[in-house]
Structure 1
Amino acid sequence: MMTMRTLLLASTCAAMAAPALADVNIYTTRQPELIQPVMDAFTDETGIAVNLAFVDDGLVERLKAEGARSPADLVMTVDIANLKQIVDAGVVQPVQSDVLTAAIPDTLRDSENRWFGLTTRARIVYASKDRVADGEITTYEDLASDKWKGRICSRSGLHNYNLALMSAVIAHVGEEAAKTWATGVQDNLARKPEGNDRAQVKAIWAGECDISLGNTYYMGKMLENDEQIEWANAVDIIFPTFEGGGTHVNVSGVAMTTAAPNKDNALQLMEFLVSPQAQSIYAELNYEYPVLEGADLSDLVAGWGTFTADDTNLSELAANRPVALRIMEEVNFDG
């Protein structure tokens, strides 16, 4: 059985101090403690050690600066925009794996196999338990209705999560109708966009607005926080759909770097991450949904209810992002 060894990871502005010594090296934009348990399960099963390096900012710049000397085998990040960025930068390579393509729906992986979704998160509506009736909102299109005038809170329209949703709106209704929709939602805002998704739930709790957009996993995060649990208990989760479509989802994903000094081990880990065991662990740790059909949900996530994920390919959403950004700027969504 292989032993754990130490990897000294260089900063973007420093030369490599030592060669890569680990069995698999990962740069991750997710806090390592959020994914360490699934890595431990992989090591227990295979004897292959995994070293996680948290890279909060400048991931692409770091990989480009390191070039062929990079110790990183894999990159793990969230949101289709970030996955497209690493592809466009040319710092990841295609991976051919029947295991990966069988486990992951084609809407949740790159058509050229350069990135693969591992978990999904739905962009849902948080609604006041006291001020929003059952069935009052059912579609994303509803958000532009006059009945929500002065009742919606939102984080910045220029944030990746909202741009991904806007990209999905474009995919469903086209550019002009999407601009009309964005204008309608902006007109319905109760306040200027500010804060993160949790801040919108706090605003609902405080009576500043009645509904907000947010990712599902924030409910789990709030329920484990002594201060924020009161906010969480003030709202219901509603899974809106597109007219003729499903609920918008985004992904956390993985890609193999161009350098990948431990390619075989890295591929073994990628395939492990879509196994039923790993999918259930990974999804439960982050209050997300597995990409593998039939993998177990956490009891908490299962309690939020069921939904049908929209089947628009995430690669199409990535392609729509520049238009989504332009529309949000043109309608002055952030005021």
Structure 2
Amino acid sequence: MNQELLKEFTADEVKDALTQMFPFKSPGPDGMSPIFYQRFWHIVGNTTVKCVLNVLNNHDLNPSLNFTHIVLIPKCSNPENISQFRPISLCNVAFKLASKCIANRVKPLLDSIISPSQSAFIPGRLITDNVLVAFEVNHFLRGKRGSKGGHVAIKMDMNKAYDRIEWCFLRGILLKIGFHSTFVDLIMKCVTSVSYAFMMNGSQFGFLQPGRGIRQGDPLSPYLFILCAEALSCLLQACEVDGRISGVAVARSAPKVSHLLFADDTLIFCQATKESLSCVRAVVDMYGKASGQQVNLQKSSIVFSRNTNTTTRDELAAILGVRIDTIHEKYLGLPYVVGRRKKRSISLPARPSVEKS
């Protein structure tokens, strides 16, 4: 693995990274979109390659190259507070080329590193893999009867997941996985040398140097995040091996499923007992303390199998501090239950009409 990662980066890798970029991505502080470099590569190519390879091979990253604009994108039609905006980073194309070259080397290794429970950003894995498993488990919970022990499905959402990643945790995870320290130093150089200014109404405001977090808009960030999330997966697997939690098997011959991950969207399945829920709470707290992640209690919920009584439901939900749902309505944007009115279940929300003047 490290033999390939530590090879010198080449001009061909930089050119390939450029061709993989969407031409009309929003420009960073340099004001140039990828289309400019793609169209005029015969003019700017040599200078750009020299700049990018200096970063990749010599670890010489000029702070101005990693200067980034933050644009706040509203999550709803009438946002009233800062939590209703999504911060998107607009990086310089030259920096994104360096970051994408690193990502292209990491990407082929992910399938062998990341556990099967994670389905985000990994070549060869589909989002539908987790969706189908989640739907089967949900169907099992809805139909489970009898006095035998109940089960729970815990849907957890991490609050500002990218922004909360601690840099020391990220570095530790990369080294623990087995990445060479030289390659890790290159990644951390790209992550920690960032500085921000905010774009509002077309003008630049403020200056900020963060102490943690990875950027939405950096080509490398999705892969770094799922490497960090692998720590949570490993902790849950360890609890399952030790017998402290037991996943859900939808049939006698089916394997047990204890958790599913899609980036920061987490589904955890276990028995409806105080011991299991306390173990899940301890794992999530341990992961959060180390990584900086924080569960968004407002967006998190717990669903119980039909054979779990009301008193038990209240006691177990209180352990995690999340609300009780009769059913998780959607997972990764798809509805769990589709009734007769299928069009209503799967159609996108209608956009408000705009009257012509």
TM bracket, shorter-chain basis: under 0.3
TM-score, normalised via structure 2 length: 0.23
Ranked by relative contact order (alpha carbons within 8 Å, sequence separation 6 or more), the top structure is: 1
Q: Bigger radius of gyration, 1 or 2?
A: 2
Tell me the TM-score normalized by structure 1: 0.25
